[in-house]
């Protein structure tokens, strides 16, 4: 099961730390289960056996992704981590690019990695001045998508760090190169309408789903609230399309 681009609404990605959390998130309406250890960094990696447990619990009901950790842009280090993560059976392997290191060598190496049926998703850090030009390199090296996230969650939510105009440009650039476009980074329910209007394929959440910070337990009510907000945006957008079509008749 793969993420489809140009959906009526963005897919709701929920980051989880265990098979039990995956079950909770899926039951409350998440579209994508993302395996991540928030106590180990922005893209902290879970142990392989935990990821396998999550894949087994979720089954074929939903797409599963997993992060490879907050790693340097070292080709051999990233490829080794990506191949081990792919071996757990996830659909997507998420590789983050941090700091000012040139990631192009690592991107090229990841594009040649042995990932079985898993696809690659790059994650760029909005609070570290990423070069959006590497989106072209991602497409050339067979990445399936790219997400914009934040490295330091205490710095604020993604829309506080990057203007909506720049976020729109990022989404547009990714789509122009045939990549799934995702947005994440300390997002909350009240961010959904403004971000969904930019037409991303994925909106990612962790802290906004938890009782007290991103390392705490999931709150079913918050997950359901975000699901409902994303769904409400889709219905509102469809209603606008219907109105526009009626005006043309």
CA distance 68 to 35: 9
Please write the tens of the pLDDT for every residue from 142-197: 999 999 999 998 889 999 999 999 999 999 999 999 999 999 999 999 999 999 99
For 122, the enclosing helix (H) or strand (E) is strand 119-125
CB 175 within 8 A of CB 138: no
> For all residues of the chain together, what is the average pLDDT?
91
Say how far apart CA 12 and CA 28 lie, in whole Å: 11
C-alpha to C-alpha distance for 82 and 217, rounded to whole angstroms: 27
Task: Give the residue carrying structure tokens 């203007």.
Answer: 163
Q: What domains sit in the chain, N to C, each tagged with a CATH number?
A: 11-248 (3.20.20.380)
Give the model confidence (pLDDT) of 103-134 as tens digits: 999 999 999 999 999 999 999 999 999 999 99
- Token reading at 83: 């191949």
What are the tens digits of pLDDT across the range 16-59?
Answer: 999 999 999 999 999 999 999 999 999 999 999 999 999 999 98
Rounded Cα distance between 34 and 16, Å, is: 6
Q: How far is it, in rounded angstroms, from Cα 188 to Cα 204?
A: 10
With 0-12 / 13-18 / 19 or more C-beta atoms within 10 angstroms meaning exposed / middle / buried, residue 42 is buried
Counting Cβ atoms within 10 Å, is residue 181 exposed (0-12), middle (13-18) or buried (19+)? buried
Closest CA to 171 of 139, 143, 209, 135: 135
pLDDT (tens digit per residue) in 58-75 = 987 789 999 999 999 999
List C-alpha distances in Å: 225 to 77, 144, 205: 38, 29, 12
Say what the pTM is.
0.92
Rounded to whole angstroms, the Cα distance separating 166 from 5 reads 20
Q: Is 189 exposed, middle or buried (0-12, 13-18, 19+ CB in 10 A)?
A: middle
CA distance 153 to 199: 23
- Which residues are marked as active site? 36, 94
Q: Which of 98, 88, 93, 103 is nearest to 52 (CA)?
A: 88
Residue-level pLDDT at 53: 97
């Amino acid at each position: 099961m793969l993420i489809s681009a140009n959906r009526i609404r963005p897919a709701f990605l929920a980051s989880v730390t265990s098979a039990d959390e995956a079950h909770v998130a899926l039951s409350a309406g998440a579209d994508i289960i993302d395996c991540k250890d928030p106590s180990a960094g922005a893209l902290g990696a879970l142990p392989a056996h935990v990821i396998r447990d999550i894949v087994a619990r979720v089954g074929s009901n939903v797409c599963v992704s997993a992060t490879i950790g907050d790693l340097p842009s070292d080709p051999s280090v990233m490829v080794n981590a990506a191949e081990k993560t792919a071996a757990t059976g996830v659909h997507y392997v998420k590789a983050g690019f941090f700091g000012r290191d040139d990631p192009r060598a690592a991107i090229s190496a990841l594009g040649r990695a042995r990932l079985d049926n898993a696809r690659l998703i790059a994650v760029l850090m909005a609070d570290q001045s990423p070069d959006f030009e590497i989106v072209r390199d991602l497409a050339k090296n067979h990445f399936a998508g790219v997400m914009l996230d934040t490295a330091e969650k205490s710095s604020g939510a993604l829309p506080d760090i990057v203007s909506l105009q720049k976020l729109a440009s990022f989404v547009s650039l990714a789509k122009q190169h045939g990549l799934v476009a995702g947005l994440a980074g300390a997002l909350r329910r009240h961010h959904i309408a403004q971000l969904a209007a930019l037409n991303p394929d994925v909106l990612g959440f962790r802290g906004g789903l938890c009782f007290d910070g991103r390392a705490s337990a999931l709150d079913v009510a918050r997950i359901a609230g975000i699901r409902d907000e994303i769904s409400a945006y889709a219905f509102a957008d469809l209603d606008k399309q219907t109105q526009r079509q009626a005006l043309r008749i």
